[in-house]
């Protein structure tokens, strides 16, 4: 751990950007990755206060439901703030989201939810996952997709930065655009699981004001890229970043609380979270069970929990030579073309159940083939390092 105080502007900076992420990292590597994103903010004067302020802002907003009645998607300004935070730093987005969840779940007036107990918990859980997809995930995905791109050695630093900046903006644009189109569907369980239908207000903002959501995210991710590039290239900051990276590498190399969970249980939890997140588009429990079983099977294959055919190992060795960005683009293109064709054909035959479940299953098959997991030893089924 960095030992000298000058590396952080204040004890508040140290707590929010070093101590807190270190403790979260002992729970889960995903929490470590999320809570350490946007470290350039830690070097600013406001960096020490932003985390608690955004936590409290999320808490109060979740408690009082400013600007909306039923669900946060009714509020344009809530969504704009969520997207701004998710684009500039997953750390800030995570602080805001945790505060919001605590305020909304424990203190908000949920009189509109007729059923209590597990139905209420699951409906709200789906809405929280949909929120996390835009407050925490974008910055992480953008950073890692761009980092994998290997540019020609003949490119000078300026050219590399320009290309990386364009990629940051483009990935953020399309991610938020697709999220804004999917969220009205994914948020449906908040209403449908207690015998209601989504209100017009709950979907209007995302359908009619997409540009209001997309462009703030694009602007903020460009600002993020410029700030982090400027600070990373300053020689005076190199010792600080080196010490921080070494510290968190040590944390990430150790055991986490979730690593003690049986891998079959972890796979089941992953499948459950996935299928409940998609429950708004699956409409009935039969389709949820089918998709959940398929996700569980593919995830078990990816993790090497069940024997994998030799061809999957050989395919893994080849497919991982392609940067993730190009594999993601290929997946989206294939899923779009195939599902568009299948849905059109099935609707022509008045089939209601199949158009929803078949494209979803095909989408997961494509995602597995383009991200099948590291090659696995066919004798011990242990993942190669």
Whether residues 140 and 224 fall in one domain: yes
Q: What's the CA gap between 24 and 248, in Å, rounded?
A: 11
N-term to C-term CA, the chain:
26
What integer pLDDT is reported at residue 380 of this predicted model?
40
Which ranges of the chain have pLDDT less than 50?
1-6, 352-353, 378-385
Considering the domain architecture, whether residues 65 and 196 belong to the same structural domain is answered as yes
Length of the chain: 385
353 shares a domain with 239? no
Range of the domain at 32: 8-258
Question: Are both 241 and 348 inside the same structural domain?
Answer: no
What is the C-alpha to C-alpha distance for residues 101 and 216, in angstroms, rounded to an integer?
23
The C-alpha atoms of residue 176 and residue 169 are separated, in whole angstroms, by: 11
| Domain count of the fold of the chain | 2
Residue 383, domain member (yes or no): no
Residues 326 and 247 in one domain: no
- How far is residue 360's CA from residue 352's CA, in Å, rounded to a whole number? 14
Q: Which long-range contacts (CB under 8 A, 24 or more apart) does 358-362 make?
A: 359/335, 360/278, 360/281, 360/282, 360/287, 360/291, 361/290, 361/291, 361/294, 362/335, 362/338
Residues 171 and 148 in one domain: yes
Domain final residue pick, 240, 258, 276: 258
In a domain, 2, yes or no: no
Label residue 377 exposed, middle or buried (CB < 10 Å: 0-12, 13-18, 19+).
exposed
* Same domain (yes/no): 120, 224: yes
Do 293 and 233 belong together in one domain? Answer: no
């Amino acid at each position: 751990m960095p030992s000298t105080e000058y590396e952080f502007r204040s004890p508040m900076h140290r707590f929010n950007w070093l101590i807190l992420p270190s403790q979260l990292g002992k729970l889960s590597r995903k929490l470590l990755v999320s809570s350490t994103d946007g470290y350039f903010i830690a070097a600013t004067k406001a960096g020490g206060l932003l985390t608690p302020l955004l936590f409290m802002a999320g808490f109060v907003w979740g408690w009082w439901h400013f600007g909306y009645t039923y669900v946060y998607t009714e509020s344009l300004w809530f969504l704009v703030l969520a997207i701004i935070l998710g684009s500039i730093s997953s750390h800030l987005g995570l602080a805001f989201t945790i505060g919001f969840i605590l305020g909304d779940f424990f203190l908000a007036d949920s009189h509109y939810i007729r059923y209590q107990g597990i139905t209420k918990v699951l409906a709200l859980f789906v809405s929280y996952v949909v929120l996390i997809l835009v407050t925490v995930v974008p910055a992480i995905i953008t950073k890692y997709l761009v980092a994998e791109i290997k540019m020609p050695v003949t490119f000078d630093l300026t050219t590399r930065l320009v290309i990386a900046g364009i990629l940051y903006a483009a990935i953020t644009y399309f991610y938020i655009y697709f999220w804004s189109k999917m969220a009205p569907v994914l948020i449906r369980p908040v209403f449908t699981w207690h015998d209601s239908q989504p209100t017009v207000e709950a979907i209007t903002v995302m359908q009619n004001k997409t540009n209001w959501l997309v462009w703030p995210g694009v602007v903020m991710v460009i600002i993020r890229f410029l700030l982090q590039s400027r600070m990373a290239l300053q020689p005076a900051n190199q010792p600080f970043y080196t010490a921080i990276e070494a510290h968190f590498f040590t944390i990430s190399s150790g055991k986490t609380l979730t690593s003690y969970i049986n891998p079959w249980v972890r796979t089941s939890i992953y499948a459950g979270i996935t299928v409940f997140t998609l429950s708004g588009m699956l409409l009935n429990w039969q389709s949820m069970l089918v998709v959940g079983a398929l996700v569980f099977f593919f995830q078990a294959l990816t993790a090497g929990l069940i024997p994998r055919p030799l061809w999957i190992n050989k395919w893994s060795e080849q497919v991982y030579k392609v940067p993730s960005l190009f594999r993601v683009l290929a997946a989206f293109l294939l899923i779009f073309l195939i599902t568009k064709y299948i849905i059109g054909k099935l609707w022509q035959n008045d089939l209601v159940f199949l158009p929803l479940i078949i494209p979803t299953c095909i989408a997961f098959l494509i995602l597995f083939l383009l991200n099948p997991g590291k090659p696995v030893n066919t004798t011990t089924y242990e993942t190669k390092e």
